[in-house]
């Protein structure tokens, strides 16, 4: 998927923050998007247990992200992103109950890469702009590339709603409109230059931590053999 890496300028010659963020992190996005595990998933050759393992790792990451989101709900920066319709843990629980059964919690554990990722999220309790970085990296991804993953997972595993409800955002209405409103929210943050820089660099780190989670999944789940 191509996206411009050139940040356009506004009428006043200033680059909107959302454009700056996207341009500064798109290279890291490419690494996540084109990672071996993601490619295997998108090519429809990842066995179902690999998909299930990814859903399980998402579960631990979103528990950390959404616990922190609730804790920061009244923060003037982080609180702007608090939106109940986005919350993914209830959907992940439903998906894992479908994929692994009601006792799924006894059958899954966070990988070392996921533990590093959740530990980093938890450290953002005192850095609201860092929380926004992690929020942006996951939810903007879920409403963008996640929608391609949803279609591939439906086709590859024959899943309908059950098992992929993580990617279904019925409560949000139009996803393109949500994405542009999200960018407007980023643009309206009144960040000091230092806080804006921290948000950009934390987003790069968030992508890298996500890529490490994918790399770990890729080591444990290889493509199924192609039959000619």
The binding site for ligand HEM (CB under 6 A) comprises 1, 3, 22, 29, 32-33, 38, 42, 136-137, 140-141, 144-145, 148-149, 179, 207, 210
User: Of 77 and 206, which CB lies nearer to ligand HEM in the complex structure?
Assistant: 206
* HEC readout, the chain: CCCCCCCCCCCCCCCCHHHHHHHHHHHHHHHHHCCHHHHHHHCCCCCHHHHHHHHHHHHHHHHHHHHHHHHCCCCCCHHHHCCHHHCCHHHHHHHHHHHHCCCHHHCCCCCHHHHHHHHHHHHHHHCHHHHHHHHHHHHHHHCCCHHHHHHHHHHHHCCCCCCCHHHCCHHHCCHHHHHHHHHHHHHHCCCCHHHHHHHHHHHHHHHHHHHHHHHHHHHHCCCCCCCC
Give the nearest distance from C-beta 106 to ligand HEM in angstroms: 27
Spatial distance between the Cα atoms of 208 and 87, rounded to a whole number of angstroms: 23
User: Of 101 and 176, which CB lies nearer to ligand HEM in the complex structure?
Assistant: 176
User: Of 104 and 207, which CB lies nearer to ligand HEM in the complex structure?
Assistant: 207
As to burial, measured by CB atoms within 10 angstroms (0-12 exposed, 13-18 middle, 19+ buried), residue 222 is middle
Give the nearest distance from C-beta 206 to ligand HEM in angstroms: 7
Q: What angle do CA 162, 168, 169 make, to 5 degrees?
A: 145
Give the nearest distance from C-beta 25 to ligand HEM in angstroms: 8
User: Of 7 and 100, which CB lies nearer to ligand HEM in the complex structure?
Assistant: 7
User: Of 83 and 144, which CB lies nearer to ligand HEM in the complex structure?
Assistant: 144
Give the nearest distance from C-beta 130 to ligand HEM in angstroms: 15
Name the residue number minimizing CB distance to ligand HEM: 145
User: Of 60 and 136, which CB lies nearer to ligand HEM in the complex structure?
Assistant: 136
């Amino acid at each position: 998927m191509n996206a411009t890496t050139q940040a356009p300028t506004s009428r006043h010659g200033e680059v909107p923050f959302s454009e700056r963020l996207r341009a500064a992190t798109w290279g890291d996005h490419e690494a996540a998007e084109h990672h071996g595990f993601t490619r295997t998933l998108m090519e429809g050759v990842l066995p179902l247990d690999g998909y299930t393992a990814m859903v399980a790792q998402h579960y631990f990451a979103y528990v950390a992200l959404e616990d922190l989101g609730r804790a920061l709900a009244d923060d003037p920066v982080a609180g702007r992103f608090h939106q109940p319709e986005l919350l993914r843990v209830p959907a992940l629980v439903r998906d894992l109950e479908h994929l692994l059964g009601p006792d799924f919690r006894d059958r899954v554990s966070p990988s070392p890469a996921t533990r590093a990722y959740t530990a980093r999220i938890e450290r953002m309790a005192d850095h609201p702009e860092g929380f926004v970085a992690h929020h942006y990296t996951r939810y903007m991804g879920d409403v963008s590339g996640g929608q391609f993953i949803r279609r591939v997972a439906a086709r590859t595993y024959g899943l309908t709603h059950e098992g992929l409800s993580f990617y279904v955002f019925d409560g949000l209405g139009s996803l393109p409109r949500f994405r542009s409103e999200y960018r407007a929210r980023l643009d309206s943050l009144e960040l000091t230059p230092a806080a804006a820089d921290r948000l950009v660099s934390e987003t790069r780190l968030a992508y890298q931590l996500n890529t490490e989670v994918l790399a770990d999944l890729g080591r444990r789940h290889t493509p199924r053999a192609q039959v000619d």
